[in-house]
Chain A
Amino acid sequence: MKITMLNGNPDPDNQKFDDYLNNLVKLLESSDNSVVHFKLLEMKIRPCRGCFDCWLKTPGQCIFKDDSHDICREIINSDFLLCAAPLVMGFPSAVLKIAMDKLIPLLLPYIELVDNKECHHMKRYDKYPLIGLIIEKEDDTDSEDIEIVNDIFSRFAIDFKTSSRFVMQTDIPVQEISDEINRI
């Protein structure tokens, strides 16, 4: 399976989080997956400015030449998108959210009713990867925080024509996450 991983670790001193993901990547690769691991903190990603040029001037691509193009290309050619970030103020880091905002060129501007119910943008590509989220808890994280993150991630999945397979925390062994992904 082809996997793209977005590592939204905002803190260069948080080696523990990177180690966790590196171990996960090793495990996944040993079970016949290929993983492209984007360390978002080291990349040049200009936050989305809401201009819609990626829909209306250069359809399918952000008008700015930043590293978001590489991310979009990998994701849309993957089977699985793994988002990962420590929670900061109860939600995955800004580093991850900034990268996720830049995925809208993968959609069309046109709007459809999903399940004949809700407005969402239409798909540009035939197939979108399934998604999962790995989070590192903060000292004060409680079950309500996890539920909110879970629900918002599921909304992201609807927007991106896919479904969320899991939201898991870094306090479990990497093996469990790897197993979960290998079951897909």
Chain B
Amino acid sequence: MKLTVFNGSPRGKESNTAILLEHFLNGFMETEGNSYELEYIVNNKDVGKLVEMFKDVGNVILAFPLYIDCMPGIVKSFIDNLKSLCGRQDNPTIGFMVQGGFPEAYHSRFVERYLEKLAKRLNCQYAGCIVKGGIEGIRVMPQFMTKKTFNYFYELGKIYGKSGKFDEELLKRLAKPEHLSALRRLFFRFASSIGMAHVYWNKQLKENNAFEERFDKPYMR
């Protein structure tokens, strides 16, 4: 099976999306004869080339981080450029991967509906959409926290490599939590009340000598 993967993260090779894709693709390559091409949308001036890559392959995955509950602007540019392929026969099977910073998968469910409709619009067979929240900070998390997630991506890739589909059961398990549980909300409120919830940001603000300015309102008239 030949696969072309478009990484739509504005952070490109340094993205969390890239990390998740790496695990997915390791699983994908477990099936003999599989091969893939990985292309980054960011800074790719040659839009025509991206469109050609899209139409010349049997299977495509478009992966991106959630930007204000939707796709990043550069991914929308890419999608807009696919307009010329609407109504064409032989468009590839398409699957999506959306990862978000907030823990709940729910944030990504709206754009997921858009993506399924997009597949229809392009006359593409729809392979499904991988949704995972809680990914911001994945680089600084200890291994025991990320191992399970990475393993899910590996397994999803492995099954996809054989069947061309995302396993429904794995998708559901990976997406958890769909919403925050009562216990997690309680913990979050507690962590906020003692300032613990802000540690991740404050640490970086202090490193940048910007902590004092953190509440600035530069545009206020």
Contacts and interface: CB of A to CB of B under 8 A. Distances in A.
A is bound by B: yes
Interface of A: 10, 47-52, 55-61, 69, 72-73, 76-77, 88-91, 93-94, 97-101, 103-104, 106, 108-113, 116-120, 124-125, 140, 144-145, 148, 151-152, 155-156, 158-160
A142 to B, nearest CB: 9
A76 B201 contact: no
13 contacts: A55-B201, A60-B216, A77-B221, A88-B79, A98-B77, A110-B201, A117-B185, A119-B102, A124-B215, A152-B70, A155-B68, A156-B69, A158-B69
A59 B214 contact: yes
Nearest to B122: A89
Closest A-B pairs by Cβ, 10 of them? A98-B73, A155-B69, A94-B76, A94-B77, A119-B102, A73-B219, A109-B201, A97-B73, A97-B76, A60-B218
Contacts of A89: 79-80, 82-83, 86, 118, 121
A112 to B, nearest CB: 7
Contacts of A100: 68, 73
B67 A59 contact: no
Nearest to B106: A118
Interface string B10-32: 11000100000000000000000
Interface string B185-202: 100110010000110010
Contacts of B58: none
B220 to A, nearest CB: 7
B118 to A, nearest CB: 6
B188 A113 contact: yes
Contacts of A110: 197-198, 201
Interface of B: 9-11, 15, 42, 65, 67-74, 76-77, 79-80, 82-83, 86, 102-104, 106-107, 110-111, 113-114, 117-118, 121, 179-180, 185, 188-189, 192, 197-198, 201, 204-205, 208, 210, 213-221
A49 B117 CA distance: 27
B197 A101 contact: no
B90 to A, nearest CB: 19
